Structure 1
Amino acid sequence: MSMFEEQRRLVEAGVRRVPGWEERRVLAEPAIPVLASPSWRGVDGSPWRVRDAAGGESLFVKLMDADAAFYIDVPCAFEAARRASALGIGPTVFLADAEAGLLVMEDLDLGWTTGTLDRLLDPGIVDGVVAARRRFQEGPPLPRSAGVFEEIARFHADAEAAGAQLPADAGWLVEELRLAAEAVRPAAERAVPVHGDGNVSNILIGEAGEIRLVDWDRATNADPLEDLGSFLVEAFDEEPEARDAFARMMGGFDEKAFNRAWIYGVADDLRWGLIGTLVAAKSPRKTFEFHKFASWRFVRCRMAVQAPRFGQALRRI
């Protein structure tokens, strides 16, 4: 049996564990194209759509990939997805089997669109995203705590040990962000549960502007400004727009807080560059452009660290 057919079998068996689906004849097919570049989409777990062959109803299933084990805590990710489901800010979760790496959810297909940069020009959409993230942050601690600076150090050490193809200045970038960490940590806010991934494709938008956040794989306990920074760096190409959004989110503009969020965004680029490099070194899936994704995150991080703005932000946090 091929790996594809084995996954299909696991997915269909998982769906039959959902109440009301036990006896249905189901058909499973890949739900979305898996992309490592330009957007990291479907890489962490295979996305499937399972339909009732008779009635046409469908469920969305995510089967976690072994490649992601070094940067995703599956029990924590599934706990976060369940919480988001209960809060109404994520898809409804019907089955979360962390041991099997299987997550079965409602299928937000018809009537829903994936977030894009142009949709985030709408202040109402941005406000909805931030409101959803804040609701999640009000909950009890998650079973995992990992800040961006600690992960940068770990992933860099792992990449060097694996002989991964790092850029020539990777050590310099890591050292610059280590110094940034020393400046940011004393001002960090109390760690709270956060979504942990600013990728705009993790936002689903309903026809009436409803927001659902998906892909809770990077959920952890961290400074809420870290979560906000990872979103700002992905959602806004230019700083003035990021500042405007930040002021609206915070009910006023706080220069020191914005600088901390901005530094967190720079660090998030380095973290994802290291993750992409490590997956490229470890994964048997050689047809995906992991290095291309990593290279772009390294480039954006490098541009930020080299700019005068980086030092100014560190002096004003």
Structure 2
Amino acid sequence: MLTAERERPRRRPRRQPAGIGLAPRTFDHLDAQDIEIAEFVDGRRPSTHRDFADAALRTEAMDVYRRFHAAPLLPLTKTVFDMIAEHDRQVAELRAPVPPDHAWLSHQARLAQAALEASGLDLVPCFNDPMPGNFLVGEDGSILLIDFEYASNNDRLYDFAIWSGEMFSSESVDRELIEAYFGRYDEASFARRMVHKALADVKWWTWAMVQHTISSLDFDFYKYGIWKHMRARSIMNDPCWPAFPKAL
């Protein structure tokens, strides 16, 4: 039986982010109850979407990602393709609602997967969950990350793409961030980022349909999921879409 709680991976990278200065320390006193305890962090606040309109803070976020991506691999490898496949199985099992063009969208996701795998996956530790509240901003403009429950080894550009989608970044900002992270801009990285943007929305809309079916939380998962679906569709229906997988 599926539950909302089982949607979240249990193997958390508790100490690694703290060990490299990217997260508060955690304590394992209640591990047996699957409860994580983190130290209280003073002098910081959760970020908002508005914060990342500031170019300096965007650059700081990219530096945080660079440091996390350079860390040793995590115990769990779970790519966006694994996530989509898992949620697709759950949607079918639960007979959760899907849009009329679900088959077409799934076909586009498979084509994107084939192109990305053919180009080679760059597996690194990825945060995978860039909700603004997971970025704690200090008065000095530094950032700490919290909530690593979705973290796994994944393709490097997926982490950027899901962050970009969450922060509603424009294409010009995407190009700026690629240059900030890699030290240079190239079209292949931009194309990879756009493909992953669409895949991230596919992942989250299927997740939302599962939650709509099983969750007791007072949240409109259906509305959230359909919005994610519409954005994935808008990317995949764009005339530029066929060129992105070829540019990888």
How far apart, CA to CA, are the structure 1 residues paired with 2:17 and 2:29? 13
Tell me the distance in 1 between the aligned counterparts of 2:213 and 2:144: 33
Q: Distance in 1 between matches of 2:171 and 2:183?
A: 18
Q: Are the equivalent residues in 1 in contact too, given 2:178–2:189 (CA < 8 A)?
A: no
1:134 aligns with 2:62: no
Bigger relative contact order, structure 1 or 2 (CA pairs below 8 A, ≥6 apart): 2
CA contact 1:93–1:103 (8 Å) conserved in 2? yes
The aligned amino acid for 2:40 is D
Greater helix content? 2
Q: For this pair of structures, how many residues does the alignment match? A: 246
| Corresponding position of 1:295 | 226
**SS of the residue aligned with 2:76?**
coil
Q: Is 1:90 equivalent to 2:27 in the alignment?
A: no
State the SS of the aligned residue for 1:288: coil
The TM-score normalised by the length of structure 1 is 0.73
Aligned to 1:150: 82
CA contact (8 A) 1:196 1:230 kept: yes
What are the residue-to-residue correspondences of 1:253-272 with 2, within 5 Å? 253-272=185-204
Letter in 2 for 1:236: F
Quote the offset at 1:229 in angstroms.
1.5
Correspondences of 1:233-272 after superposition (within 5 Å):
233-272=165-204
Contact 2:205 2:225 in 1 (8 A): yes
2:174/2:190 contact within 8 Å kept: no
Q: Contact 1:139 / 1:193 at 8 angstroms: preserved in 2?
A: yes
Higher strand share: 1
Quick one: distance in 2 between partners of 1:229 and 1:218?
A: 15
Equivalences for 1:152-231 in 2 at 5 Å?
152-231=84-163
| Aligned-pair CA distance for 1:257 | 1.5
Distance of 1:253 and 1:167 partners within structure 2: 36
Aligned counterparts of 2:173 and 2:88: Cα–Cα separation in 1: 32
Find the aligned partners of 2:58 and 2:32 in 1 and give their Cα distance.
Answer: 35
How far residue 138 of structure 1 moved from its aligned partner, in angstroms, is: 2.2
Q: CA deviation at 1:171?
A: 2.1
Question: Which consecutive residues of structure 1, in runs of 5 or more, have no partner in the other structure?
Answer: 1-65
Aligned-partner Cα distance in 2 for 1:203–1:258: 24
Deviations 1:164-220 (A, max 9, x none): 122222222111111111111122343121111232332111111110111111111
Amino acid at match of 1:308: P
Amino acid at match of 1:101: D
Distance 1:98 1:134 in 2: 29
Identical amino acids, percent of aligned pairs: 25
1:114 touches 1:205 (CA, 8 Å); kept in 2? yes
Equivalent of 2:4 in 63, 67, 74: 67
Asked whether the equivalents of residues 188 and 223 of structure 1 are also in contact (C-alpha less than 8 Å), the reply is no
Asked whether 1:81 is paired with 2:17, we answer no
Which structure has the larger Rg over C-alpha atoms? 1
Structure 1: how far apart are the matches of 2:31 and 2:4? 15
Deviation at residue 98 of structure 1 after TM alignment? 4.4
1:264: how far off?
0.9
Report 1:295-314 matches (<5 A): 295-314=226-245
Alpha-carbon contact 1:73-1:144 (below 8 Å) kept: no
Give 1:283's aligned residue. Answer: 215
Q: How far does residue 284 in structure 1 lie from its aligned partner after superposition?
A: 2.9
What secondary structure is seen at the aligned counterpart in 1 of 2:103?
A: helix
Pick closer, same or farther for the CA change 1:246–1:292 going to 2, 3 Å: same
RMSD: 1.8
In structure 2, list runs of 5 or more residues that go unmatched: none
Letter in 1 for 2:229: F
